[in-house]
Amino acid sequence: MYPSSCDTFVALPPSTEGQRIIFGKNSDRPCDEVQEVVYFAARDYNAEEKVECTYIEIAQVAHTYAVVLSRPAWLWGAEMGANEHQVCIGNEAVWGRESADGEEALLGMDLVRLGLERGDTAEKAVGVIAELLEKHGQGGSCMEDDSGFTYHNSFLVSDRKEAWVLETAGKHWAAERVQEGYRNISNQYSITTKIDKEHPQMRAYAQSKGWWDGKTEFNFATVYSFLTTARIESAGSRYCEGKKLLEKSNGQITADAMMNILRDKESGINMEGMFMTTGSMVSVIPTHAALPGVHYFTATPDPERSTFKPFIFVKHAVPLKETTSPSFGADDPVKKMPRFQTKPDRKHPLFVKHELVAAIIESNKDRGEKITHAMKQLEKDSIKTMEKILMEGIEEPDILANLFSGSVQKEISIYGKS
């Protein structure tokens, strides 16, 4: 039995303060896995170019949008991220009647990145993911050193005006539009009878398998999932806890409120153990097109012990060196056969510093409290500064080109004073 993991949230007016959409996600992964935060600029390609995803190569498009991604350092795709058009995507593992075992294809995390690189609205990103899923399928190990860990995927996609939930089983899928209020996904199918888009053969396939009689009202979650398995029950419990936390702040959901949800350990949202929260993201997207979106990332494990640092898309954004892991190129064991024999050190500079300080916080109460207080103050000051930008915009955007890296350096400076 594999552990359940991950939660993604979105809140839209009138659940949020002001005309904003708040997106949040915890990435729960193996506790020894490094998650990096990376930026890729927009780019044009030749007609015949290909893109090498984690396991397979597919056709490239003529133009990709600029993206910021939080991803396990060993793969091509991402657990979560955003693009220059303020589209945000996070994915979750789901299991159901359709087997997740099969040949290597696109990972759900590859589809997250592809959706962001190719979709300038949430609805278009859903279309990109659905089309690629139908063409290439999903499959392959979702852990660097465990070839048997496979799953299907659900996605939560948002932009400046709405959100979409996209849930998949093999090449089949269903999608639900969310235009107000709040929504969360976890490790279970959650789309029931409100289906706004779907694979054209989804119902016929379910009927051919004997999962649906073709007469009763079609409920995607009921038809495609095993609701009695321990995995689904575990995820369902956390899914319900996530909904409760959103309801608790309903009408006043802010960046800070979303960060608190992601830090909540009692609910299991902030996971500990062999699977733990290895990276977190919160995005604040004004519905007004003239205002910038702010995307906060931790780039380190356990949001309770991490600082959310802001990123804003600007024309000349700089590479995020302090949160980019070492690259092994052709020598990377993920690209070799047999795979998974060697697991290289993928720790980026911020991760190394954070790991050392986490040990100090555990062993020395006084020093730990001092460091924690300084980190929280840094985050508080950052949110206050970003709030002004969210409300008023900025006349010279490129002065923010080093925003995220500068925040990382301030965090490392706090560690250095510890």
Q: Model confidence at 41, in pLDDT bands (50, 70, 90)?
A: very high
Give 297-313 pLDDT, tens digit per residue: 999 999 999 999 999 99
Task: Tell me, rounded to whole angstroms, the distance of Cα 31 from its chain centroid.
Answer: 17
The pLDDT value recorded for residue 329 is: 76
CATH 3.60.60.10 fits 7-413, yes or no: yes
Query: In percent, how much of the chain has pLDDT > 70?
Result: 93
E strand or H helix that includes residue 322: none
The three-point CA angle 175-235-310 to 5° equals 70
pLDDT tens-digit readout, 71-122: 999 999 999 999 999 999 999 999 999 999 989 999 999 999 999 999 999 9
Other C-beta atoms closer than 10 Å to the C-beta of 326 total 13
For the entire predicted model, the pTM comes to 0.95
Cα separation, 188 vs 130, whole angstroms: 19
* DSSP at 319: P
Q: How far apart are CA 279 and CA 158, in angstroms?
A: 19
How much is the pLDDT for 4?
Answer: 60
88 part of the active site:
no
Domain ranges of the chain: 7-413
Q: Which of 6, 53, 88, 142 is catalytic?
A: 6
